[in-house]
Structure formats: C-alpha cells, structure tokens
Amino acid sequence: MSGETILGLPARRTALVTLAVLVVAPFVLPTFQTYVLSEVLVLALFATGFNLLYGYTGLLSFGHAMFFGGAGYALGIFLRDVAPMLPFGGATPLLAFVIAAVLGVVVATAIAVPVGYLSVRLEEIYFAMLTLSFSMALYTLVNQNYFGVTNGSDGILVLLQTANLFGFQLSLYDRVTYYFVILLVVAPSMYILWRVANSPFGLVSEAIRENSERASGLGIDVRRHQWAAFVLSAVFTGIAGVLVAPLHSSLSPGASLHWTISAEPVIMTVFGGPYSFIGPTVGALFYRYIRWGITQFPLLEAHWQLVFGTLILVIVVFAPRGVSGLLTWVVDRVRGNGGESA
C-alpha cells in the first residue's frame, strides 16, 4: 500500500492534504467559487465512476447520461410529488432529500442491470453505440413526456428547503451547507472507488482490458465481471446525478439526459488521462476551471467553442496521457532533481 501514488506523490498523504484543503475551502472562497468547487467535486465523481468502466475495464460508454440524469429525475420527481406528503414534520426536507437520493441511485442501478447485461456482450465501438442508443431512447421518452411525469422539455425544478431539526435550522440550499453535503458523499465514494480500483476486482478489470481472451483463459467470467463493473460504474454515476440536480436546481432532458452530457465524463477523462485513478479528477478540475476562465474574458467567451476546441485538440495531440500524465512527469522531474524521496 505504501507504494501507491497520486501524480507521483504518496497517495495517503496527498489524499489527506486534499481533503483538508477541501474542508477549509468554502470558508475562504467567495460564494460563486464554492459553487464551482461543488460542481468540480460532483464532476470528479461522475468522471471517476465512468472511468471505472473505461480506463479500468476497457469499455467506452457513450450513454452515462442515462444514469446521471435518470437518477436526478427520480430524485426530482420524488421531491415534487411525494415529499410534500411525508409525515416527518420539520425534518421532512432533510429526510425527503435522503430518501429521494437513495431512490435516485436505485433507479440508476435498475436501469444499469438490464442495459449492462445487454451491452457488455459487445465490444469497443459497438458497446459505445449501444449505450448511446439506450440513453438517447430514454432522452426522447422524457423529452416527449411519454411517462407523463417529466414535464417534457421544460423539465422540473429541484429546490431544497430548510429542515427544522428540534429547533435547529438546516438550510440545505445554503451554498456552504450543500457543499458539505456533496463533500460528505463524494469523499467516501471516491475512497470506495479507490479501494475497488486497487482490489482484486480492479486488477481483474485491468486484465480484461489488456487481454480479455487471456483473462478468460485464466478462468475469469469476463462478461459477468464486465457486467458487475458496468453496474458499479452506474451506481457512482447515479450518486453524482442525485447530487448535481439540487446544485443546478433544475432538470431538463437537454441538460440531464442528452448525449452531450454523456460526452462530458469522456472529455474530462481524456483531458485528465484515463489510465490512472486520479486522471478523471484532474480532468474535471481542468475542464471546469478552464471553462470558467474563458468566461472571464469577453473576447474568449464570444468564441469559447474555438478556444475550448483548440485546447482539447492540443491536449489530445501533444499529451497522450492527459494532464495528469503531464503533472506526474513534472512532479517526477522536480522530485528527481531535488534528490528527495518520500
């Protein structure tokens, strides 16, 4: 365990320092930056969950929006239609949120079980296309309001309320409070993902990615394993999905279920580098702050597609292991030159 590293730094120490920084951050940052950081945390979980399937197991999903948005919609519909009838008095806003979140993750899982079963029978681009078509079918159903509860293209609002816990007011929508709700869920989720990635399960996944025939020859049930990885990936994506809906305060087919949402973790992962655990997180960080940086300049904002596209292009062409690969290289150089070792 002591040999594990993040970006060339000792893993445990780096994780603890990062966590400490994240705990202090909202008390130092202005409100808007707390909002951006909240989103970075959610996106990091989204991308890392996605990468459990892509980077570790070698399956490129182009339909993760169905878990991200599906979980969000389940939460939103529950909060809108069922929560007002719950009998928990002042604690209702909090309990309703918790129940809705669990429900959302359950729904994402329930979608993932059959979709995953059918999808893992395919490989490479065919797998990607099948996940894409499932998620776009769901997008169309929600957009057309075929279920009657999704309010079509207008979408639904997700506004959290203030809970009254024995006289103590807890405003869930408060920027800092909600930041800590996110951190409280994302941090252990990331830890679990880290443990999974470094467990025998993760090693088997990597073996399948490298050579599925040989893995099969070693007695591994490849499809079953891929199916399990698929569902696990969807569970964490669902967790990210239930966290993001109240943060954005609304859900709509275009912003929750469209294929462009499925493309986000893909881009973040390529940005950060898919073959390390931390890659997608680094990718999420850069993806989000670069987009924010662009808005700070009217000229860049007016041509953000050009700027953003060029950046993606440069990273893909010149940094094969993504930004995390570059950072690791830099860290190695710095530490190597300093003659220091951990």
Partner 1 sequence: MALPIQEILTGLSLGSRYFLVAIGLSLIFGVLGVLNFAHGALYMIGAYVSLTVVQNVTGSFWVGLVAAGLAVGLLGAIIEMGLIRRVYDRDELDQLILTFALVLIITDLTRTVWGSGNQTMATPELLASNVQFLGTSYPAYRLFVIVVGFAAMGVFWYAIQRTYLGRLVRATSSDRDMAALLGVNVPRLYTGVFFVGSFLAGIGGALAAPMQAFTPALGDQVIINAFVIVVIGGLGSFTGAFVGAMFIGLLQSFGVLVATGVGQLLPFLAMILVLIFRPEGLFGGEGQ
Partner 2 sequence: MVNDSHEDTYRAADDRRFAEFDRRDFLKASGVAGAAGLTGFAGCMGGGGDDTLTFGAIHLLSGFAAVYGESAQLGYEMAREEINENGGIDGSEIGEIVYRDSEGDGPTGVEAARSLVQEENVDGLLGLDSSGVALSVAPVIEQLQTPFMITHAATPFATATEGENAVGNDYVFRDGVNLAQNVYGSAVTASDTDATTWTTIGPNYAFGTQTWDYFKAFTQGMDLGYEYLDDATAYPELGASDFTPYINKVLNADPDGVITSLWGGDLITFINQAKNSNFFERIDNVLMTVGAATDVLRPMGNNMPDGLQAGTRYWFDAPDTEANNTFVENFRDRNDGRYPSYNAQNAYTALYLYKNAIEGAGSTNADDIIDQWDGMQYNAPVGEFTINSQSNQAVLPAVWGTTSYSEERGITLLDPVERIDAPADELRSLLEGTDLPAGV
Q: Does 286 bind partner 2 (CB under 8 A)?
A: yes
Least CB distance from residue 248 to partner 2, whole Å? 4
Least CB distance from residue 287 to partner 1, whole Å? 12
Distance separating alpha carbons of residues 34 and 27, to the nearest angstrom: 9
Q: Does 161 bind partner 2 (CB under 8 A)?
A: yes
Nearest to partner 2 of 58, 70 (CB atom): 70
Whether the CB-CB separation of 209 and 202 falls below 8 Å is answered with no
179 Cβ contact partners less than 8 Å away, ≥ 6 residues apart: 26, 34, 37, 38
Distance separating alpha carbons of residues 214 and 200, to the nearest angstrom: 16
Q: Does 170 bind partner 2 (CB under 8 A)?
A: no
User: How far is C-alpha 72 from the chain's CA centre?
Assistant: 13
Distance separating alpha carbons of residues 88 and 94, to the nearest angstrom: 9
Whether the CB-CB separation of 240 and 172 falls below 8 Å is answered with no
Residue of 78, 51, 76 whose CA lies nearest to 64:
51
**200 is written with which tokens?**
């025998």
Nearest to partner 2 of 95, 255 (CB atom): 255
Neighbours of 249 (CB within 10 A): 11
Nearest to partner 1 of 183, 267 (CB atom): 267
Residue 76, φ and ψ in degrees, nearest 5: -65, -40
Least CB distance from residue 224 to partner 2, whole Å? 37
Distance separating alpha carbons of residues 128 and 304, to the nearest angstrom: 28
- Please select the residue that binds partner 2; options are 85, 167, 296, 341, rule is CB under 8 A: 296
- Please select the residue that binds partner 2; options are 19, 29, 110, 187, rule is CB under 8 A: 29
Coil, strand or helix at 9: strand
- Site residues (vs partner 1, CB under 8 A): 54, 60, 118, 121-122, 124-126, 129-130, 132-134, 136-137, 140-141, 143-144, 146, 259, 263, 266-267, 270, 274, 303, 305-306, 308-310, 312-313, 316-317, 320
Binding to partner 2 in span 303-322, by CB under 8 A: 304-305
Least CB distance from residue 52 to partner 2, whole Å? 24
250 binds, among partner 1, partner 2, none (CB under 5 to 8 A by kind): partner 2
Question: Residues interacting with partner 2, by CB under 8 A?
Answer: 28-35, 143-144, 151-155, 157, 159, 161-162, 169, 171, 173-176, 248-252, 254-255, 285-286, 289-290, 292-298, 301-302, 304-305
